[in-house]
Amino acid sequence: MKKVDRSELLSLGAYEEIRPHFRARMIDVKVRRRMSLGAHMSLVFENHDTMLLQVQEMLRTERITGEGAIAHELETYNELVPAPGSLSATLFIEYDESVERTKMLAKFATLRTAVHLVIGESRFTARFGTHHGEEMDRLPAVNYLQFEVGNHAAALKDASVPAKFEITHPDYPLAVDVSKELRAELARDLE
Question: How far, in Å, CA of 84 to CA of 74, rounded?
Answer: 19
Any bridge partners for residue 36, and if so which? Answer: 42
Query: How far is it, in rounded angstroms, from Cα 63 to Cα 78?
Result: 19
Edge-to-edge strands of the sheet including 174-177?
122-125, 115-119, 163-167, 174-177
**Cα-only R_g, the chain:** 17
Could you read off the pLDDT of 5-49 as tens digits, one per residue?
899 999 999 999 999 999 999 999 999 999 999 999 999 999 999
List all residues 6 or more positions away from 110 whose beta carbon is below 8 Å from its beta carbon: 169
pLDDT tens for 84-140 read: 999 999 999 999 999 999 999 999 999 999 999 999 999 999 999 876 655 667 889
pLDDT at 57: 92
DSSP secondary structure code for residue 149 in this structure? -
The residue ranges of every structural domain in the chain are 6-190
Percent of the chain at pLDDT exceeding 90: 79
